[in-house]
Structure formats: C-alpha cells, structure tokens
Structure 1
Amino acid sequence: MAGRFLSIFKPIGRILPEIKKPTRKVSFNEKIFWTALVLIIFLVMTEIPLYGVDAGLQDQFGQLRVIFASNKGTLMELGIGPIVTAGLILQLLVGSSMIKCDMSNPEDRSLFTSASKVFSIGLTAVQAGAYIISGMYGTLTLPITLIILLQLIATGIIVMLLDELLQKGWGLGSGISLFIMAGVAQNILWSMFSPQTGLFIGGLSGLLNGSTTAFEWIVGTANGLPSLIGFIATIAVFIIIIYMQGIRVELPITYAGYKGFRSRYPIKLLYVSNLPVIFAGALFANVFFFTQLLWTRFGPGSSVTKWFFIIFGNYGHSDTGSIQSIGGIAHYVSPPHGIIGVANATPIYQPWVYLGILVVFCAIFSLTWLEIGGLGPNKVAQQLMDSGMQIPGYRRSEKPIEQILRRYIPAVTVLGGVIVGLIAGFADFLGVFGSGTGILLSVGIIYQYYELLMRERAAEMFPAFKSILGE
C-alpha cells in the first residue's frame, strides 16, 4: 500500500487532466500518426512567441536549453524542465525510501503518477515565476505578468498530456524522449546550416570575407561557435554510442515448459540506457538556472547573499555583456564547450572537476534507477521465474538466479553510468553540436525508437509474436 505522503494525492488525482488508456488495439500506423502529431504540436509551440515578451531579449541559458528541449521567448520557454525535475525529485525520494511506494502495485503506481503531475504543474509555476521575478523579461505590468504566467502553465500542462498520450499506448515511446530528440536535431541542423553561425554556410562565408580564420573554423572560437572538430566529434560520438548499445553480457536460459528450448538473457553495457545522463543533466541545469536567476534578481548585495552566491553560484558579465558563471557549485557543474572553452577555463582544472562530478552522479543515478525502475537483480529474477525461465545447471528457484544476476547487473550498471558520463563530458570538450549530453540522449532515444519500431512491426505482421514480446 502507498505511504502517507502519496495518499495525499489520491483526491487530487481525480481532478487532474488525464489521458485514458486505449480500450481497443491501436494499430501500428495509428501509433505513427499520433506520434507524428505530438511532434508537430511540439515543433509549432517552439516557434510561437510568448505574448508580452520582447523577442530581442538575450538568451541567458544557451546550450543548457538542449537538455530541456526549450526555446527562448516561445511557449516552450520552460520545455520539459518541470516534468523531468518533478520526476527526478520523486524518484530520488522513493529510491532513498523517504517515500514508500511499491511500483509493482497498480494503486501505488497511479498515485505516483498523480504526484508527478502535481509536482510538474507546481514546478512549472515556480520556474515561470522565477523567470518573471528575476527580470529576465524586463519590466512588466501586472496584467502582462499574469498573461505570461498563464501561458507557461498552460503549455506545461499540454506538454505533460502529450507525453502521457504516447506513454499510455496511443503512440510510440514517450513525449519527453521525442522532444529531446527533436530539440537536438534542430540544434545540429542550425549549427551546420545557419546563415549567420552555421559551420557550412556562416562559417565558410566568414572564411571567404576574412571575418573568420581557418584556425577558428577548424578548432572553434571563444564564444563556442560550431567548428569542424565539433562536427567530426558529433559523428564520432554517434558511432561510439551505437557501438556501445550492442555490447552486452548474455546469460544462457532455458524454458522449463519446453525441454531443449534455449535462449540468452542480455545484460547490456548501457543497462539503464541514457537515464543517468538525463537526471544528472537535469540536476546540473536546475542548479545553474536557479542560481543565475537569483543572482540576476538579487545579486551579491549583503554579506549573507554574497556568501550564498560564492558557494552556490557566482556570475559576472563577459565582454559582450552576457552573463557567465565565475564561481560556486554552478560554475563547476557547467560544461565548457569546445577546445577553446576548455583551454580558457578558469580555473584551469574546472573542466576536469565538472567531468568528475558528472561521472560520479551518472554512476549514482544508474544504481538508484535499478530499484526505482524495477531493473534490479531481484526483480529480474522474479520476472524470469514468472516467465517459466531458468538458468541451466541451477535448480529452478528465484534465489540462485538472483545471485547470478547480482554478479553482473550492479557492476555493469555502474560501468555503463561511468562510460556515458565520460562520453558526454569529452563530447562537450570537443564542441559537439547539440552538447555532449544532448547527443548522448538523442542517439540512445533513436536506438530505442528503432527497437520499438521493429517490435511493433513484428507484432503487427506476426500476431503470434505478441506473447514472446510481452505484449
């Protein structure tokens, strides 16, 4: 049964907007249609400007927007940030046993979903309010302030429902993954073909008119513009991640109901996929967002606020007038972009501190997700037993299967978390298009969609496979 905290959300869950699960079988083509429609709605919202906001305002968050699939000055100003942050907070609370929740219990799972929705809407209001109070949109009248706030809250609810529409079975995958992939794809295309800053149009034009040197076009500039090395690194990271997706440990299993039937249970190197990077990226981005917003609004005035910003995140203005981190925790969880960014980092060890923090948090979130996501050795052993599977040479019992899985799953999980952290960090150091975390997430999402499409297609063409595929 649910704990006391989750029980609070039982009456609230009845009035929250909800997408119902389909009561009939949704065909493969229909799922494609709904997935495409959700993507189109998202892309349209990234282009509709917020009413009452000056379109010429400076973007304070730059590459960090890729993680949250957000776009400055539009309805998608907050992107998926509140949803991801709400899920991160609740999952950490459940993983640390501060909140009692049995995810195998349908009632607990329903209450957890209701709590996630409430937290998402609440965080949308908090982040929208923080943007307004910080003065990021300039001086606003009360009516305009309320209009902007309502626009952002309404968009947050729409994004939440679009994600739920796909996850409930009307479409493929999840809206969060789809939006991240679309945002990264937009960023990559803009980095390549933008008339002003794109590598192959703006960059080559700069080479011809002398405003850009060959060194800057190849290696990059201090302001992080796209470079040839970044383009090559983007392709290399794609290939490396796709290769990593195929590395696995395979345990032999047999089906107790049919003697002679043998198969293998795969334990992938990237066992928990790209989730650790999502959580780490969301945590770091929120630290950066909120400390910068507080600094913009209050600044280091009194001795109390001065020490607060020195510890948690201190900022200053660059030569171009943009705000940049110069110290505190926020500075050390902000990735430098490109070789020039690493070389000019202050202090010089900042990139390596960032890399170390990223790797540690990826490993921690990997282990945390084992229990929260039901991927731990005990859960997998139970699933194999329920499916009538056993490991050859061992008696058909859950305990020996769990002991064998415990030799591999935790070690592979930590190793996978460390590897994705290293790849994401070094990708940023080389200046990949779309940020290292963004590329890592998008490749993992594309691979997941490929597997999902193959499964859906196989189930559509060969209905007898549904039981094998667990559908």
Structure 2
Amino acid sequence: MASRFISALAGFAKFLPAASKPSQKPSLREKFAWTGLALLAFLVMASTPLYGIPSQISNQFNIQNLIFASRQGTLMQLGIGPIVTAGMIMQILVGSKILDVDLSDTQGRIDFTEAQKSFAVIFTFIEAAAYVGAGIFGSLTLPQEVLVFLQLVFATLLVILLDEMLQKGWGIGSGISLFILAGVAFQVVNAAFSFQPYNTGVKPVYAYGAIIAAIQAALNGHFLSSIIRYPAVAGSIPPPDLVGLVATIAFVLILAYMQGMKVEIPVVYQKAQGYKSKIPLQFLYVSNVPVLLAGILFSDYIFFTQIIWSRFDPNNNVWYLNFLGTYTRTASGIQPSGGIAWYLQNPGGLGATIEQPIRSLVFVALLIVLSVMFSYMWVEIAGLGPRDQAEQLSASGLQIAGFRSSVGIIEAVLRKPIYALTFLSALAAGLIAGVADLLGAYGTGIGLLLAVSITYQIYQILVQEQIEELYPGIARLLE
C-alpha cells in the first residue's frame, strides 16, 4: 500500500515541469554561474511585492521567514516552505517505515525524489490557498484573491524548479541551502546597515539598521541609546542594536569552532591486514535538524493559530481561542500578543528580554526540551542510531579496535558515545539558538546555526570540486 502511494506520487511528477540533468559535468566556473543565476532569481522574487494586496513588504523577520526563506508581502511569501515541509514529512514516513521505500536501490531513490517533488507541489497549492483564505493579506475581493493565489503558486513552483536544477548537478549544493543562506545573510545585512527609518514616536528618528542608527545616535550625542533598542509598539519585535551585533559575531565564532569538534572511534579494517584508522563522530551529531524541527513546530503553530484568530477571534474576545494565541496588527505585520503563541516567538532583543523575563525563559526552555526530544527521534529515523551505524561498519568490513566484529558488540560500544552526542548536541544547539534570540542576534539563533552549517557544507563541496578538477582520476574513484 505504501509503495503504491510513492509510485502514484512519482507518476504524478512525470506531468510536472522538470529540470534536466547536464549531458556532461559542468565546470566549477559554470556551476558558479548557474548558482548565481538561481540566487539572483530568488532575490528578485524576494524583493517583488505581490500585486493586488494592500499591505507592504515587512522589514521584520520571524522564525517562519527564516526557516522557509520567505519574505512577507512578496512573491517569496511561501519561500521554500512547501519543499521543506514535504521533505520533512516524507523523511519521517520513510524513516519510521510507514512508507516502504528501498533508498539503497537506484530506482527507489528516484521514486522517492519524484514523490517528494509532487508532495511539495501539492503543499504549494494548499499553503497558497491557506494564506489567501485566512485573510493574511487583509480584505481582498475575489479577483484579487485569485490573482494573489496564482502569483504565490507560480513563484513557488519556480523555486521548486530552481532547487531541482541545482540538485541535478548544474550548481553547488541545493536550492534549499542556498536560499536559506541568502535569507539569513540578507537579514544580517539588513539588521546592520538598513537606512530605512524606524519611527518609535520619539524624535530624532534613527535608521532600522543597528550600525547606521549607532552612527546617527553618536552624532546626536545619544550613542548609549543604540546599545539596547526598544520596539515602537510594546510586544512587537524591537529593532536591531549593538548588543545583537556583538552576539552575532560571538555565536558565529562559537558555531564555527563547534563544527570542528568530534569524537573519534578507533576501527580496524580486517580485509586490509588489520589496517587501523579512526571514524569521527561530529559533536553536532544530529546537526541542526532537531532545533530546526522545533522552530518549524513553533512556526506552524503560530501560522495556524493566526489563521484561526483572523477568522474567528479578530477582536481577541473569545476566551478559549485566546488561550491558543492572541494577535495584534502592527506596522511590521501581525504579531502574537498573548496565549501560547506569545511564548513561542522570541522577544527579539536584550531590552525585550529584560522586560519579559518569564516569556524569555519559557521560550528558551521549550526550544531546548523540544530540540532534545526531536534529536532522539531523528537519530532513529535518519539511520544514525547505534544499530544502524553498527550494521554499516560491519558491512564495510570494519570493527571496533579491541572488540569482536559482531554487530551486537559494535552496537553496544557505539551506544554510549552516540546517545551522549545526541543529547549534548541537541542541548547545545537549542541553548545557543535560544540565548542568541534573547540577545537579539541578527538572523536569529536558528538562522545562525543554519548559516554556519550550510557555509561549512558548501566549503566542503568546493574543496571536493577543486580536487576533482585538478585530479580527474580521483573524480572517477568517487563516482
């Protein structure tokens, strides 16, 4: 039954537009060109406002904008949301064996990829309809709703094609990683250097960007006011400040250092006359997936309760819906103002953190707890558990130095370091992401986690590409 479901989705993908594989492997220069073209298309769409809506492009960013590389009020309103959501659901269904797919088989991998693409297209239509139907863009006429719906669908389908193009070998990495990195970089630059005025109702009016505002404040003799800044409307996200700048630099350095931390397991290769080596287990063993899943959960909760609020409780006077979340419309968009949703959105800066200590502590605690919970789930689903790793080592002819080659023994030896790294990496990632948010780090804590991880992955890809171009013989061995 499950395999028929995958086959049906894979069959549907044959009727969708698709990017073809290159007939021969592009050079590194050509890959840079195609990657730059995809990035340019994304940035243009992220700067193009949706035609037919009364609201303006927001200068503020939240978890949803970050994870899904989206920007409110533009063609990138959905961003990579449908791709990420479809991918996560498919990974969980396959990893938990609900869907029976053999990913070690070439055809199985092709069917899975095609099914995932079809699922992403289906989610595109669902999310576009949800945004329009929920009244996120204000009061629209029926023709306006149809027009906005079509814009969202076509723009997101183009993003799916761009991601497919890069993954099929035309570019470097994947579209998802590239667009997330671009979104985080845009947020960081915008937070530091935006000249757009940020009106707090008190003169003089300084720029939104922290560095520009600090220069303006210094020229007016009020430099200290730029160190910690407060929101124009109580409860909304405050503008970037210098504390956030220092936090951003500090956490990027910490995360870059953590990328190189690892635990080495000594192994012996019996087929090579007992050749000894070491297998590294990264300290960030589960990478940023658990904290990303926690962020997606926060984001989806806010998204759906926002829809419920806009339809059934716009005046915040239905008590049982107020428990789920209350919202207010501000110049920077719809913001949580109470209920559970209030605690799932970070305060956004040190000033707001000091003013709302309970909210801040609850936010960080929830982020850490959910990250740890998701980490154990992801280890089993993604095949990173001790049993899966032991089977892979045994199949490769490797065994732990000083122990017999039995799968059960290898599993017992690996259980302690793997589960310890699972807990510690999720705890560290959740804590760093949460504290970075409380200090107002640019791009948010989860964004910095993603950006550093993606940058490291791209660096590794570039090193491999350079080696393959310089030494073609190695490229043939890697195929």
CA 1:152–1:181 in structure 2 vs 1: closer, same or farther (change >3 Å)?
A: same
Answer yes or no: is 1:9 the counterpart of 2:18: no
Match of 1:402 among 411, 417, 440: 411
Corresponding residue number in structure 2 for 1:343: 354
Partners of 1:340 and 1:373 lie apart in 2 by 40
| Residues 254 and 389, structure 1, Cα contact 8 Å, conserved in 2 | yes
- 1:188 is displaced (CA, Å) by 0.8
Of 321-330 and 435-444, the range deviating more from structure 2? 321-330
* CA deviation profile, 1:422-446 (whole Å, cap 9, x unmatched): 0000000111011111111111111
Answer yes or no: is 1:312 the counterpart of 2:320: no
| Residues 191 and 433, structure 1, Cα contact 8 Å, conserved in 2 | yes
TM-score (norm 2): 0.87
Corresponding residue number in structure 1 for 2:171: 171
Corresponding residue number in structure 1 for 2:389: 380
TM-score (norm 1): 0.89
Percent pairwise identity: 44
SS of aligned partner of 2:210: coil
For 1:149, give the aligned amino acid.
Answer: F
In angstroms, what is the RMSD of aligned CA positions?
Answer: 2.8
* CA deviation profile, 1:279-298 (whole Å, cap 9, x unmatched): 22122111112211331232
| Residues 49 and 57, structure 2, Cα contact 8 Å, conserved in 1 | no
Of 361-370 and 267-276, the range deviating more from structure 2? 361-370
| Residues 54 and 73, structure 1, Cα contact 8 Å, conserved in 2 | no
SS of aligned partner of 2:136: coil
- 1:124 is displaced (CA, Å) by 2.1
Partners of 1:26 and 1:391 lie apart in 2 by 40
Partners of 1:463 and 1:394 lie apart in 2 by 38
For 1:216, give the aligned amino acid.
Answer: S
CA 1:71–1:338 in structure 2 vs 1: closer, same or farther (change >3 Å)?
A: same
Of 115-124 and 270-279, the range deviating more from structure 2? 115-124
Partners of 2:29 and 2:265 lie apart in 1 by 35
Corresponding residue number in structure 1 for 2:239: 225
Corresponding residue number in structure 2 for 1:200: 211
- 1:3 is displaced (CA, Å) by 4.0
Partners of 1:68 and 1:330 lie apart in 2 by 19
Corresponding residue number in structure 2 for 1:190: 190
Partners of 1:402 and 1:334 lie apart in 2 by 40
SS of aligned partner of 2:70: coil
For 1:434, give the aligned amino acid.
Answer: G
Match of 1:256 among 270, 285, 294: 270
Q: What are the within-5 Å matches in structure 2 for residues 117-136 of structure 1?
A: 117-136=117-136
| Residues 181 and 454, structure 2, Cα contact 8 Å, conserved in 1 | yes
Corresponding residue number in structure 2 for 1:161: 161
For 1:310, give the aligned amino acid.
Answer: N
* CA deviation profile, 1:144-182 (whole Å, cap 9, x unmatched): 321211111111111112222222333222211111111
Of 69-78 and 131-140, the range deviating more from structure 2? 131-140
| Residues 69 and 183, structure 2, Cα contact 8 Å, conserved in 1 | yes
| Residues 9 and 119, structure 2, Cα contact 8 Å, conserved in 1 | no
Partners of 2:227 and 2:190 lie apart in 1 by 17
Partners of 1:48 and 1:260 lie apart in 2 by 61
SS of aligned partner of 1:251: strand
SS of aligned partner of 1:273: coil
Unmatched segments (≥5 aa) in structure 2: 196-206, 232-236
CA 1:22–1:404 in structure 2 vs 1: closer, same or farther (change >3 Å)?
A: farther
* CA deviation profile, 1:253-295 (whole Å, cap 9, x unmatched): 2333333633210000101212222222122111112211331
Q: What are the within-5 Å matches in structure 2 for residues 13-24 of structure 1?
A: 13-22=13-22, 24=24
* CA deviation profile, 1:103-138 (whole Å, cap 9, x unmatched): 334444444333432332232222222222233323
| Residues 133 and 297, structure 1, Cα contact 8 Å, conserved in 2 | no
Corresponding residue number in structure 2 for 1:273: 287
Corresponding residue number in structure 1 for 2:225: 216
Unmatched segments (≥5 aa) in structure 1: none
SS of aligned partner of 1:349: helix
Count of matched residue positions in the alignment of Structure 1 and Structure 2: 463
SS of aligned partner of 2:265: strand
